[in-house]
Amino acid sequence: MTDTDTPEVKVSIRNLYKIFGPEAEAMMAYVRDGMGKAELLEEHNHVLGLQDINVDVRAGRITVIMGLSGSGKSTLIRHLNRLIDPTAGEVIVNGEDVLAYNGARLAQLRQNTMSMVFQKFALFPHHTVLRNAGMSRRIRGESANVADREGQKWLERVGLAGYEDYYPGQLSGGMQQRVGIARALSSDSEIMLMDEAFSALDPLIRTDMQDLLIELQRELQKTIVFITHDLDEALKLADHLVILKDGAIVQQGEPQEILLHPNDPYIIDFIADINRARVLRVASVMEKTTREGSGLAGEVDAGQNLESVIALSEGDTNLHYRVMRDGRQVGLLHMRDLVRALVPVEAADPARRVA
């Protein structure tokens, strides 16, 4: 993708800090002088939730924010719609600082610009599936006919046609989360916030929900901020990946690039057990060129994972393939380069490598 193809920034998070405690603003001086999370808690009994966060969320992309429990990921997503206010920093949405919004403008942001899908579904138990799906329209004051029409449309899209008159308690967890996604989509908001949306589901249902989200995203091109603690899920969904630790960003970028070039021992440990052949794509390890090459064994797609190419080549490391995308050549794949990419590397900065 060229610079001219880069999507616009929908949400810009700049120099964002969050300190929990009665004297949060006074604690900023210590944090800016280099005091970390553990020291701030031990010496001043305040919790450093977020530290100097800078992220651009681009239109039509899935930005995944991941980290272990306590890393600050859920705190961060709640700043975007001001469920939490920062101690310092800016949250710019469509060019406007949401921290300057009054109550009415903030309500408009939450009702029209951003929708949210929660981990625990957050459905109304005494309303039918159809009423739940169209609830965002009702809250806006739109007619029941409009709410039901939009709710019905998105229930059908997420595979719940025929369940309109059921109640949430009659549905499985996966089906309830589909209702939650239908509700978010029926709002027609530009930005979807998904906070650990699939983590409460069984593994097979979780995979189905990930596949559903990818399928919908191909068509709808929503701007999505997705929170997860699961690296496999993050690598599967993310266009842009942000990894947090103790409230600070350790590394961010294109997931394949992070996997190939981790810049910190924490990231190296995080990705150590990943099945690289299943996650890495041809485009990440190919030689970018339009030259024809010679002695080619065939063609592969830039989006294929390396596992599929290994099967195709039957493990022959002497083979070469033309790499195609949308009917045109974008590179050459050399099997020896593929094999080298399967071996985990240490952090790019030698001074930070694990001993």
Domain ranges of the chain: 60-84+96-271, 277-341
Q: Which two tokens stand for residue 272?
A: 């150590």
Name the CATH architecture for the domain at 60-84+96-271: 3-Layer(aba) Sandwich (3.40)
First to last CA, the chain: 37
Q: Which helix (H) or strand (E) holds 237?
A: helix 231-237
C-alpha 276/C-alpha 53 separation (Å) is: 29
pLDDT computed for residue 346 by the predictor: 60
H-type helices in 72-143, by residue range?
73-80, 103-108, 129-133, 135-139
Walk along the chain (355 residues) and give the pLDDT tens digit of each residue: 434 467 899 999 999 999 999 999 999 999 999 999 999 999 999 999 999 999 999 999 999 999 988 899 999 999 999 999 999 999 999 999 999 999 999 999 998 999 988 877 788 999 999 999 999 899 888 999 999 999 999 999 898 999 999 999 999 988 998 999 999 999 989 999 999 888 878 888 889 889 999 999 999 999 999 999 998 899 999 999 999 999 999 999 999 999 999 999 989 988 888 889 988 999 999 999 999 888 999 999 999 999 999 999 998 999 999 999 999 999 999 999 999 999 876 644 444 444 3
What pLDDT shows up at residue 354?
Answer: 41
Q: What are phi and psi of 106, to 5 degrees?
A: -65, -40
Tell me, what's the pLDDT at 246? Answer: 92
Neighbour tally for 219: CB within 10 Å: 8
* C-alpha to C-alpha distances, 92 to 9, 11, 12, 238, 239, nearest whole angstrom: 9, 6, 5, 21, 20
**Strand-pair category, 96-97 with 114-117:** unpaired
277-341 classified as CATH 3.30.1490.100: no
Rounded Cα–Cα distance for residues 246 and 281 (Å): 30
CA 72 to chain centre: 14
